[in-house]
Amino acid sequence: MEKSAEEPTKKKVVAVVGGGLVGALNACYFAKRGFEVEVFETREDIRQAKIVKGRSINLALSHRGREALKHVGMEEKITSQGIPMHARMIHSPSGKQSQIPYGKKGQYILSVDRANLNKQLLTEAETYPNTKLNFGHKLQDWSVETGLMTFVRSDGSEDQIQADLIVGCDGAFSAIRKQFMRRSRCNYSQTYIPHGYMELTMPPINGEFAMKPNYLHIWPRNTFMMIALPNLDKTFTCTLFMPFEDFEKITTGDEVVEFFQKYFSDTIPLIGLDALKRDYFRLPALPMVSIKCSPYHIGDKCVLMGDAAHAVVPFYGQGMNAGFEDCIVFDEVMDQFNEDFSAVLPEYTRVRVPDDHAIADLAMYNYIEMRAHVNSTWFLFRKHVDNFLHFLMPKTIIPLYTMVTFTRTRYHKAVERWHWQDKVINRGLLLSATGAVLGGSYLLIKNPPDINKLIIPAEKLWNRVVALRT
């Protein structure tokens, strides 16, 4: 059934460039407001394609992303096809598995299929009569002065289109963003990390999931990390993160097995020896980049959202969630400023840049921290400490991961609060340490111990130390 636009009067044309996750969702947002929406996407319609090439098969959807979907009535449709992950399952090198819940009962993240999510959002966008999807349209260039966009069609022919507003949702290597970079006072930074990623499939065993399905499985091995998210077809998609240097060192099937034997031995029988030897060489490891820029807009003509505005490394599972949240924030600003683009665009930049930059930093921080000293013991220890402190002071100490993943606390506020909590914790530690010293001294003064009784155990202790050292 087709939905009717809110107003029948002639509405402005909004061109959404990029029909990926954020572009497709954004099309729904603008269509709901009654704009004439034109989506332009390089690829052919993925709903017709047999195989969808591209990166990452499944993604972790969390609160921010869900809230954004809810706004256009898509939450239920998507979450019902996601697999809840209530806890992380940490795999130690010996194959021991330990779980730590993400939060209270209702707090879980969802494993969703990227292609399916994208298809559903495109289909939803199409239910609005005021939306048109143009596939096989690759944006070549656009003019800041006139807003005229030039597309190259699949057959090589060109197409020129003008719009009142251009929304750049064309991903990390955004063609829309190129015009931003030529302007003065435009900030841009781009960092490739030394790690690449490779996806491997873990098939079902006897028609069932090879591991427990409702978990985010993690193998933290400092610089080598692997995660696995469940899929509806009872497979797991394992993602191996490793420096390119190390990927390149492994050149034969036997070397792959040797490497997995050393670090991820419990997964060998689950992925399968032959599959492992074969799949490792199927595709090269792919790069990961972190991109920041500001401002996000040019005049009243153009705005960037999603990865086009902020590509983040995937070590927080927030890239798509942040991009989806961009859509809500823009929508809120549209309400505040009555859809007046000349006021909405600068305000959007003002409120959103600090938050997107904060999540880019947090994701990079997680990457650095995890590769530097997070093995399975440290991972478990840290999460237990987080949970314990939260248990002690539920209102005061909220784990950063919780604020980022299960609330809509502005990302930059979550960072501020995290620093503040650290101060409270350190002060608490200092206070307890001081208390212990003072209390101890008081007790010692009040009940001076018999020095002879002290010397004997001290001697025994020393003997033990000597025994240890020899």
Judged by CB under 6 A, the stretch of 36-44, 249-257, 270-278, 308-316 that binds ligand EGO is 308-316
The reply to whether 316 sits near ligand EGO by the rule CB under 6 A is yes
For residues 147 and 314, which CB has a smaller minimum distance to ligand EGO in the complex?
314
Q: Which does 270 bind (CB under 5 to 8 A by kind): ligand FAD, ligand EGO, none?
A: none
CA distances to 26, 186, 318, 381, 387 from 417, rounded to whole Å, are 30, 29, 19, 22, 16
CB of 372 to ligand FAD, least distance (A): 20
The reply to whether 213 sits near ligand FAD by the rule CB under 6 A is no
Q: Which residue is nearest to ligand FAD (CB)?
A: 20
The reply to whether 270 sits near ligand EGO by the rule CB under 6 A is no
| Total residues at interface with ligand EGO (CB under 6 A) | 19
Among 12, 47, 52, 56, binds ligand FAD (CB under 6 A): 56
The reply to whether 406 sits near ligand EGO by the rule CB under 6 A is no
The position carrying tokens 């699949």 is 154
What's the CA gap between 411 and 414, in Å, rounded?
5
The reply to whether 218 sits near ligand EGO by the rule CB under 6 A is yes
The reply to whether 242 sits near ligand EGO by the rule CB under 6 A is no
Q: Which residue is nearest to ligand EGO (CB)?
A: 317
For residues 263 and 337, which CB has a smaller minimum distance to ligand EGO in the complex?
263
Cα-flanking dihedrals φ and ψ of residue 112, to 5°? -120, 150
| Total residues at interface with ligand FAD (CB under 6 A) | 33
For residues 65 and 314, which CB has a smaller minimum distance to ligand EGO in the complex?
314
The reply to whether 346 sits near ligand FAD by the rule CB under 6 A is no
For residues 5 and 298, which CB has a smaller minimum distance to ligand FAD in the complex?
298
Q: Is the peptide bond before 203 cis (omega within 30 degrees of 0)?
A: no
Take residue 311 and report the two structure tokens written for it: 């590509």
Among 20, 34, 103, 196, binds ligand FAD (CB under 6 A): 20
The reply to whether 227 sits near ligand EGO by the rule CB under 6 A is yes
The reply to whether 306 sits near ligand FAD by the rule CB under 6 A is yes
Among 47, 138, 350, 408, binds ligand FAD (CB under 6 A): 138
The reply to whether 43 sits near ligand FAD by the rule CB under 6 A is yes
Tally of helices (H runs) and strands (E runs) in the chain: 15, 20
Residues that bind ligand EGO (CB under 6 A): 60, 88, 216, 218, 225, 227, 241, 314-317, 366, 369-370, 374, 379, 382-383, 401
